Chain A
């Protein structure tokens, strides 16, 4: 290989630079986010594991079924009926966007735009 000494040094520098976030945060474990779970109810629409993994997909499904096909209820794996609504179903138990949604979303740098239009529970008191 031509100029192998320079190329190899270059590759090493590139790898070091590319892995910078890893070096900078080495050994500093950040606490896992703890979204506040509702105290008055233990059961969500589906199991905790399912909701953790697929809540975003479920919300998109609900949105399309409700707005575009006029469906009203979601039937969960136990056969229970749930009205499909972010504001009126999800947020009736999870009473806070900041203490529930945002805690994980911030850690994961996810920026869903639900609350640009939907009215979060925190906001309601502003008008009452």
Chain B
């Protein structure tokens, strides 16, 4: 019995509908109820508070981040790995530092630098394997599994937020967090806004570790988030605005 065209199309349509329906019904994965969900995570760093409390905190945020994420301490500056680090004003904001009076005002203020999780991330545009990509909540994620170590992203990032693993990172670890992986040689790494902690309902490690409450974290897409009041009430600047990458790390300078 030869199948006619009409029946063939009917059967084909049924097959497509049933496969779509079964894949929609079989939901094998879910987020937890404890997961912090947002649409546009941002970090706000009160650098004046950082200066005030610098004696008491001794960069607890940097230490906390690097311990939680198994970031190796490599003494060679050219090959070091950093997710969050301290920098001087003129290096964080080179375009503003030509202003002598700003320079004088901020010369002794520590600026914490990290991945800006840009709205328009240049690193994502150049990654050939989509190892780095923009997540649904605004986080510029790293999928270490996919990274081939081409370092295009490092060339593209205008903030120097990415580090390349020249060595197997396990051999440079002094302390280890057994709940988080390390990285192998030939992989690029950076801050991920603590995606693994957000999934467990915790705020990023650096924000939590700050004893002076200088770091704030919130969802810019949620109009009720207290982060809006902080940003509206103070003078907040972002790094290298002229490049139009639209960073989501803000620095409160006044």
Contacts and interface: CB of A to CB of B under 8 A. Distances in A.
Nearest to A86: B181
| Listed residue (A63, A68, A72, A113) with the most chain B CB atoms within 10 angstroms of its CB | A72
Contacts of A70: 31, 35, 135-137, 195, 199
B88 to A, nearest CB: 33
A26 interface: no
Q: Is the interface of B mostly helix, strand, loop or mixed?
A: loop
Given A88-B179, A119-B178, A127-B173, A71 B143 contact: no
B184 interface: yes
B190 to A, nearest CB: 14
Contacts of A117: 144, 181-184, 187
Interface string A72-86: 111100000100110
| Listed residue (B137, B174, B180) with the most chain A CB atoms within 10 angstroms of its CB | B180
Contact of A87 (B137, B175, B181, B187): B181
Interface in A85-111: 85, 87-88
B31 A68 contact: no
Given A67-B145, A117-B144, A72 B31 contact: yes
Contacts of B27: 75
A25 interface: no
Given A67-B143, A68-B133, A119-B170, A73 B179 contact: no
A118 interface: yes
Contacts of A127: 173-176
A11 B24 CA distance: 55
Contact of B30 (A68, A75, A88, A128): A75
B233 interface: no
B12 interface: no
A124 interface: yes
Interface in A112-128: 113, 116-119, 121, 123-124, 126-128
Contacts of B175: 127
Interface of A: 63, 65, 67-75, 81, 84-85, 87-88, 113, 116-119, 121, 123-124, 126-128
Given A67-B141, A119-B170, 20 more contacts: A65-B29, A70-B136, A70-B195, A71-B31, A72-B30, A72-B200, A73-B30, A75-B30, A81-B30, A87-B181, A88-B179, A116-B184, A117-B182, A118-B182, A119-B70, A119-B176, A124-B178, A126-B176, A127-B174, A127-B176
21 contacts: A68-B143, A69-B29, A70-B35, A70-B135, A72-B35, A73-B29, A75-B29, A85-B179, A87-B178, A88-B179, A113-B184, A117-B181, A117-B184, A118-B182, A119-B70, A119-B182, A123-B170, A123-B176, A124-B176, A127-B176, A128-B176
For the complex of A and B, 9 pairs with smallest distance between CB atoms: A116-B184, A71-B29, A127-B176, A118-B181, A124-B178, A117-B181, A72-B32, A65-B29, A72-B199
